[in-house]
Amino acid sequence: MPAMLTDVFRGHPIHLPHSHHQPDFTSLRELPDSYSWTPKDDILFAAAAAPSPPTAVDETIPFIDLDHPDAANQIGHACRTWGAFQIANHGVPLRLLQDIEFLTGSLFGLPVQRKLKAARSETGVSGYGVARIASFFNKQMWSEGFTITGSPLNDFRKLWPQLHLNYCDIVEEYEERMKKLASKLMWLALSSLGVSEEDVQWASLNSDSNWAQAALQLNHYPVCPQPDRAMGLAAHTDSTLLTILYQNNTAGLQVFRDDLGWVTVPPVPGSLVVNVGDLFHILSNGLFKSVLHRARVNQTRARLSVAFLWGPQSDIKISPVPKLVSPVDTPLYRSVTWTEYLQTKATHFNKALSMIRNHKEE
Ligand SMILES: C=C1C[C@]23C[C@@]1(O)CC[C@H]2[C@@]12CCC[C@@](C)(C(=O)O1)[C@H]2[C@@H]3C(=O)O
Ligand SMILES: O=C(O)CCC(=O)C(=O)O
Ligand SMILES: [Fe+2]
């Protein structure tokens, strides 16, 4: 049995530079110093868009209708240029999106003491706590999270002694739908590069995606007294093949483009955001860009998001598709399993990709 996502951080306990306790966000009228970010705490904190012509002001990630006959090429283009896009006609029922949003709101609305009953351990993946990347920053993020890997039954029983089974059903249905959608999106994106199932042996063995696994990350960004100085979730790329993100009707997600700076992804009710993760960047031999993104907060509305983080089972080695590597070149990256990559990231954070890059012989 290959190691599961649940075990990846056994040897990589999280060490937070600040107090481990979640504050009671609702009682704070002023941003405590430990939550006040400056460019010193994150070099890209204030990276504004470069002065640009007026037409570029509203530029944001592409919005793609999956029923459009040219959807595959549009997805491929978005993966190469932005590393992110939004989708409509994705087939996930609106009712299910509303259910997962309700579940998320209800979870974070519980009293802190109850949430802490399901606190994530230092070496664990699942449960309530701050994002794992918190250990790489001196300042704290204005958010709380809940990660689900495998069955949420044990944790949910602690959170909702009465209603946990209903909530487990919602998570199960959501993950089922997301798995199918993620696999569809991956093949659409690869087909735009002329890559088909025969070219990716490990993925084509099983058409029902039994080679994949996922984590669900629920995020809550409470209303913030001084949003300009706060950071909801600091800039990062996801380690996944693909991440499918649902955001409630409150802006906050931003993606980074070298030429544009931070660009806001406007919430479009009923649509989903798709991010290219580091493993897809590796698989595509660097053609698809894993998108640097972050979440900002605001003064009037709490924000919720649900990220479906999707990648291969832990025994699968990901390496650049041979078809995408020129015969005279070496592949850009060495092969790596998701577990190995997550462990590299747990130590080296945003340098993880460069750690597994093949460097040209001089
Ligand atoms: C599968 C995973 C991806 C993730 C680490 C994790 O084991 C579970 C949580 C995921 C998450 C969600 C918030 C942002 C992120 C960088 C983090 O700290 O935890 C991602 C991780 C990732 O993609 O590397
Ligand atoms: O809340 C968001 O919009 C981003 C969340 C995110 O990036 C993540 O959970 O990995
Ligand atoms: Fe993310």
pLDDT digits (tens, 9 = 90+) for 292-302: 999 999 999 99
Contact 290, 238 (CB under 8 A): yes
Which residue range is the domain that position 88 belongs to? 61-356
Ligand nearest to the CA of 241: 1
Residue of 143, 149, 238, 241 with the most ligand 1 atoms within 8 Å of its CB, for mutation: 238
Residue 64 pLDDT > 80, yes or no? yes
Q: Is residue 361 part of a domain?
A: no
CA 80 – CA 78 distance, rounded (Å): 5
CA distance 248 to 225: 20
Q: Name the H helices within the chain.
A: 71-81, 94-108, 112-116, 153-159, 164-191, 201-204, 278-283, 338-348, 352-355
How many angstroms does the Cα of residue 328 sit away from the middle of ligand 1?
A: 35
C-beta separation of 204 from 316 below 8 A: no
Q: What is the pLDDT of residue 50?
A: 52
Which CATH number fits the domain that encloses residue 344? 2.60.120.330
Q: What value does the mean pLDDT take over residues 214-238?
A: 96
The ipTM, to two decimals, is: 0.98
Instruction: Report the SS3 class of residue 326.
Output: coil
In a domain, 88, yes or no: yes
Residue 188 placed within a domain:
yes
* pLDDT at residue 122 tops 90: no
Residue 33 lies in a domain: no
Q: Is residue 38 part of a domain?
A: no
In a domain, 107, yes or no: yes
Q: By CB neighbour count within 10 A (0-12 exposed, 13-18 middle, 19+ buried), where does 354 fall? A: exposed
Range 230-252 average pLDDT: 97
| DSSP codes of every residue in 209-254 | -TTEEEEEEEEEE---S-TTT--SEEEE--SSSEEEEEE-SS--EE
Q: How close is the Cα of 132 to the center of ligand 1, in Å?
A: 7
Query: Per the structure, how many domains does the chain have?
Result: 1
Report CA torsion sign: 136, 47, 278, 168. Answer: positive
**Domain annotation covers residue 116:** yes
Round to whole Å and give the CA distance between 125 and 149.
Answer: 7
Residue 296 lies in a domain: yes
Averaged pLDDT score across all residues of the chain: 92
The residue ranking higher by pLDDT, 47 or 217, is 217
Query: 348-355: which pairs have CB atoms within 8 A and are 24 or more residues apart?
Result: 349/133, 349/136, 349/236, 350/236, 350/237, 352/239, 352/278, 353/237, 353/278, 353/281, 353/282, 353/290
**What is the predicted pLDDT for the residue at 117?**
96
Stretch 170-192: mean pLDDT, rounded?
97
Confidence at residue 228, expressed as pLDDT on a 0 to 100 scale: 94
**Confidence band of 344 (pLDDT split at 50, 70, 90):** very high
Judged against a pLDDT cut of 60, whether residue 181 lies above it is answered with yes
The pLDDT value given to residue 323: 96
Is 217 near ligand 1, meaning CB less than 6 Å away?
A: yes
